[in-house]
Each structure stands twice: as C-alpha cells, then as structure tokens.
Structure 1
C-alpha cells in the first residue's frame, strides 16, 4: 500500500466517518507537510520508518495516526515544544473534521504531545510504542546515526555553531538522563546500548 492508503486505512480503523475522497485528501495534505523544504531528517523517510516499527510491533490505529501527526508541524525556528503543541492541535482539528470519535482524537492529541519530552507513564503501552519508534534512529549503526545528526544540523543551519553545540548537547543530555530510552522490553534489549553509545559519542564530539 502507498503511504496515503495506509493513512486512509488507519483513519477508517480509528472510526473516521468521512468519505474516502476526504480521507485521501487529508492524507495527501499531511504528506505535503512532511515534504517541506526546511526538513532534512523530519521527512517522509522518518514517517515511513516509524510506521514500519508501529506495524511490526502490532500498534493500534491511534498510534498510527499519532505517528502521522507528531511532526506534522515542524519549524526549526519554533521555541520549546511549540511544534509538538501545534502538531497536536492540528491532529485535533483534522481528525474531528474527518469524523474520528472525540475520545480517539483526544488520545491521538495526547500521544503527539508525549513526543515533546518522551516521558511516558508506566503502563502507557501506546505512548511507549510511539516514543520508542520516534527514538529508534538513535540506535542505528554509527554511520547512519552520524547521517541523522548531520541532517538535524542542516535543519538548524540558521543557528551559529556555538549556540547549536550548546543546544544540541542539552538535548543529548536530557535523553541520556532518561531512566530508559526505550520501554518495550524487546526493543530496549536491542536498542538501549547502541543508542546510549551513539549519544555519548556525539556529546564528546560536540565538546
């Protein structure tokens, strides 16, 4: 299936009552957001990679929809968690317009907001899966991780080197300070060690 078709199936599975034409139009508009020129890492490739993990791990349709929306608004110049908050607001508006039940829409909005800090309460299975999938890139082989880090730097090309290094180091430390980067046992077993090694290596390089 194409990505738009996967979107349509997930939206329908989550209870959307809009017609297929409206669902396809909404999915196409979302893909256009993921193709914006300021993106170098937060692209359709990142979306597709996350969706593959969610599918492999047996994720729910609300998690799939949250994956679509979690970086739907992405402006590297925005402060703090503004992108996540605006992405969550977009999810609320778009899903309500497609007839997705209010409870499901609220859950998608909640999940999107979790990606701001990747702090998940114990027992929150959907939150665990979404955040684990979002951070999967951290555990890639060193060369692939370095390509990811370089892509993030290109997204922040407007930031001078000294300021970028300080800001990026703060992000890396906040991730390393998490009790665990990954919550799902099967994923944590494979990814936790390599991810921490990559983060520590980049932090040393920034210093």
Structure 2
C-alpha cells in the first residue's frame, strides 16, 4: 500500500496513538496523520501545537515517512481521499470501540464517499490508553510521573509546560496584572523552565518533574491544612527558585545562595524577604540559622520525594545518580549512603519532616524507601 491515513484530535497524542502509527508504517510506504481541528471540542493544545508535538514525537522515533495534515472544515475521511489515502487505520481496544468505529466507517464510505478503515488491536498494555484517560490523570501528587508512562516525550513536555504555565500565571495574578508586569513575569518563566535552569539537559532530577512534584505537594498541603493564602504563595515562590541554579563544583556561592540571589534579582514581588529565607533554608549550611515560620513546610516539600511509591522513588534515585555521573561508583555509593543514613536517622527521630502534616503521611514510607536504596547500593 502506498499511503494510509490516521485521523483524530490527538489532544494529546498517546503511546497508543503512536503504536497505531507504527502499525500503519508497517503496511504502507507513507502515513498521513489527519489532525482534526473540530471546533465542537475544546482541546488543551491548538491544532498547530498538536501538529508540532506529533512531528517531534515521530522524529524522536526516527520516522521520516509520517506527514501531519491539519483538517479544517472537512471530514477526515474525505480529506484522506483528497490526499491520496484510500484507507484510514484505527485502533480498536474494546467491543464498544468496534461498534462506534464500525458506524463511523459506514458513514465515511456510504455517505461521504471517503476512505475505508482498517482496524488494528493494540497490545494489552496499551488497551486502556486514550487522550481522555491521560487528561484525567492531571492534578494529584505524582500525576506527572504517571502520565510520563503513557505519552511520548514531546507530548509529555508540552503538557508539563502548559501545567506549569497555568501555575505561574496564577501565582503572579496575570488576570489583574498590567502588560509590563506580565511581560516581566513571562521572561522569568522562560528563564526558569529553560535550558539554563529546570529545563536543562543535564537536569536528571532537579528538573521540570521536580518542579511539578513540589508544586503539587504544596497544593496538597494547602488543601489539607488551610494556611493563609499569602503563606502558600511564599512557599510557591521559594520553590520555583530554590533549585534554579544547580552546578557541580561551582566556585563562590553555594547553589542555594546563588538561587536566593537570583530570586532577589528577579524583582517579581514587592516583598522578597520571606521567600529568600526559605530558599536559603534548603542549604544545610544555612538551615540552622533560619527561623522562618514556613521553613519546615519548605523543607518537607523538598524532601517529599523520599516518600513516594517505589516506581517514583527508583526514578528519583536513578536521576540523582545521573546528576552525579561525574563521580565514580565507589565514591558515589559512599557519599550517597552517608546522606541516606543521615536522613534516615532524622526520620527515625521524627525530625525529617518538621511539619506535622508531612510527618504523619510520609515519615515511615521515607524510611522504608531509603533503607531499600541503601541495601541496593550495598549489594
């Protein structure tokens, strides 16, 4: 077969969609993805953004025979025929899918004189993966770690950036800010999420995932303890900046103090003092000298990764090892186990999470995770 089409809204494209495209490539010389604008739906990403995500996802796989066409004001089956594709390919996951797709197939051919449909069945591990399924994951603690398993890298990055963007705009009240203020905030958002900060290629743990996770932890803490809204904003401000600078072997200032100075230089707030103290509290050399009322919240949020489920914790541990890739295995095991033993002792004494909310929910799990990591490193 020379050309085959695959159609959908693809908001976002998932690993299930990618599997279908892969199947299409196995039976045709060329695959055309017909991306429906569909004005009746309210997609998260514009058609152009979705096209870019699909192009990047296919390029990441090395697929150079996949073309993406945005369909505006036409049926995708009819658009497929116009582009020389006599067949569309669709994935069938359930009997309900078959009943629905069979009806669409009949309409496409008998009513629209459009392309016929070939049906393929995805493997079991992709049987429940759909755009709506992925969208439903967003929100609770750990949602980003879960979503990452179900979408290609470019789709995941776009989704995380969209989520972070909404968090950032809410923090700085874009709805009521003037144009110069939002432009200034835009510059700092781009800087913090870009290659010189959390979006850096060498950031294997202190990266965008870490940023999302921490902000979700702050959300959960606020929802369960009802602090003053201003206090929530202060912790968020500090968390956005606390690992903005992360350089091994940097001369002069510590990473934490460098991040604190970056915050002060941003001039994003009328009152910079509270957040800068919380950023400095994440530096163990400065922590003891800081008595800020929110210090234990900030430190608990930063350490909450230690108490996640095993899969997330192992991803975290691998990320830390990659960030210290310049350290040989023997030295790394010695240094890492030293850190973990110190943190375990604090947890066993009930001092790891200085805030009661985090201590109640996370302390025991953190001890278990760290002990297992030490055992793996020693083995």
The TM-score, its normalising length taken from structure 2, stands at: 0.48
Match in the other structure for 1:19: 181
Higher relative contact order (CA 8 A, sep 6+): 1
State the 1:119 CA deviation: 5.0
**When you count strand as a share of all residues, which structure comes out higher?**
2
**When you count helix as a share of all residues, which structure comes out higher?**
1
Alignment of 1:1-207 (within 5 A): 2-12=163-173, 19-32=181-194, 33-58=197-222, 60-78=232-250, 82-94=254-266, 96=267, 98=268, 100-101=269-270, 104-117=271-284, 119=287, 124-178=292-346, 179=349, 180-207=351-378
Structure 1 regions of 5+ residues with no counterpart?
A: none
Residues 6, 36 of structure 1: alpha-carbon distance in 2 compared, 3 angstrom cutoff: same
Residues 205, 2 of structure 1: alpha-carbon distance in 2 compared, 3 angstrom cutoff: closer
- Count of aligned pairs: 200
State the 1:164 CA deviation: 0.9
Contact 1:11 1:61 in 2 (8 A): no
Structure 2 regions of 5+ residues with no counterpart?
A: 1-161, 223-230
Q: Give, in whole Å, the separation in 2 of the partners of 1:5 and 1:24.
A: 12
User: Over alpha carbons, which structure has the higher Rg?
Assistant: 2
Q: Give, in whole Å, the separation in 2 of the partners of 1:119 and 1:202.
A: 26
State the 1:47 CA deviation: 0.4
What CA deviation, in whole Å up to 9, does each residue of 1:63-121 have, x standing for no partner? 11101001000123448981111111111111x2x3x22xx312111101111239578
Contact 2:278 2:292 in 1 (8 A): no
Q: Give, in whole Å, the separation in 1 of the partners of 2:181 and 2:377.
A: 50
Q: Give, in whole Å, the separation in 2 of the partners of 1:176 and 1:78.
A: 28
Q: Which stretches of structure 1, 4 residues or longer, exceed 4 Å deviation after superposition? A: 118-125
